[in-house]
Amino acid sequence: MADEIPIFPKAGSILINTGSIVNWNRLKRKPNHTPTDELKECISATVGSWLNDLDKTKAQYATDLKCINPTFSSNLSGDDREQLKITVKIFVTQPDPLALEDAIEKVLADLDVTSLETVLLSLSQPDQKSVSMDGIKTLWEVLERMVEKEKILAIGISDLAKDELEQLHTWSTVKPCINHVNLASCCVMPPDLTEYAKEQDIQLLTHSDPKEMFPDKTFQDVLCSTATEKDSEGWSVSWIARYTALVKDRGIIKAKGYLVKAVRDVKKGK
């Protein structure tokens, strides 16, 4: 934007809710669209719509922002809730239990539901070559507490090799029901992983999500193009939650959308 005066200079956190994108015509018929491309377009459209209706005077003093797409609802609390299976995949880049708990609570609140059928955890630390099992254990304990509270019915993990999956299965109280595997990294499912998963009744499902779902720089670029350059500075993505609601026994996608939380140290940027 030409206007260089920042719109939300004091904001240290922003929560973006795209609403359900199932009927977004702009996302259809794009065969080469990657998950990151889709998320980028969703965030851009949501922030753009939100800014159109934003009280710019109040925004100058706001410290915590909630950006909702006014056109598309994310509420799934209707009469057909019992007919839906809600699966949420949560992407984090740090083993921060508070961030994971925040993500789950925000998803429950924004979907207006009391529980989620399945939550999949994806911990991807770009600066590390291998998976941090200590980090996964820290986060898995959060998921186990959510299962105990009946806020989640089943939990799964992403991109673990056979030995890592065995470690998780051995020490966990609530066992993983799914290992979400990126076939781009292995082309064919490793036989030892397949055999172990079968023995332990763990589903092996495939995905095409990149190792780093949405880099901080990409998030900042989106805010720079929709708000101002000053508004885009210093943000880091805390977590991303992608939810899908399927009609049980029919496989029809009733709803799909994203919630994204980002934070920054406003004082550091001054």
pLDDT digits (tens, 9 = 90+) for 221-270: 999 999 999 999 999 999 999 999 999 988 899 999 999 999 999 887 55
Residues with Cβ within 8 Å of residue 90, at least 6 apart in sequence: 100, 103, 104, 119, 120, 121, 122, 239, 240, 241
How many Cβ atoms from other residues are within 10 Å of residue 164's Cβ? 17
* Per-residue confidence (pLDDT) for residue 72, from 0 to 100: 84
pLDDT digits (tens, 9 = 90+) for 103-152: 999 999 999 999 999 999 999 877 776 678 999 999 999 999 999 999 99
Residue 93 vs residue 219, higher pLDDT: 219
User: Does residue 59 register a pLDDT over 80?
Assistant: yes
d(Cα 113, Cα 225) in Å, to the nearest integer? 34
d(Cα 134, Cα 46) in Å, to the nearest integer? 36
The answer to whether residue 3 sits within a structural domain is no
User: Does residue 2 register a pLDDT over 50?
Assistant: no
* Per-residue confidence (pLDDT) for residue 31, from 0 to 100: 67
The answer to whether residue 140 sits within a structural domain is yes
CATH number at residue 206: 3.20.20
* Per-residue confidence (pLDDT) for residue 30, from 0 to 100: 66
The answer to whether residue 4 sits within a structural domain is no
Residues with Cβ within 8 Å of residue 129, at least 6 apart in sequence: none
The answer to whether residue 95 sits within a structural domain is yes
The answer to whether residue 5 sits within a structural domain is no
* Per-residue confidence (pLDDT) for residue 268, from 0 to 100: 72
How much is the average pLDDT of 10-35? Answer: 84
How many domains are there within the chain? 1
The answer to whether residue 205 sits within a structural domain is yes
The answer to whether residue 1 sits within a structural domain is no
The answer to whether residue 2 sits within a structural domain is no
* Per-residue confidence (pLDDT) for residue 185, from 0 to 100: 66
pLDDT digits (tens, 9 = 90+) for 175-219: 999 999 987 766 688 999 999 999 999 999 999 999 899 999 999
* Per-residue confidence (pLDDT) for residue 216, from 0 to 100: 96
**pTM beyond cutoff 0.95:** no
| 48, two tokens | 């753009």
How much is the average pLDDT of 68-87? Answer: 87
Domain of residue 139: give its range: 13-264
* Per-residue confidence (pLDDT) for residue 27, from 0 to 100: 60
* Per-residue confidence (pLDDT) for residue 78, from 0 to 100: 78
Confidence of residue 79 (pLDDT cuts 50, 70, 90): confident
User: Does residue 3 register a pLDDT over 70?
Assistant: no
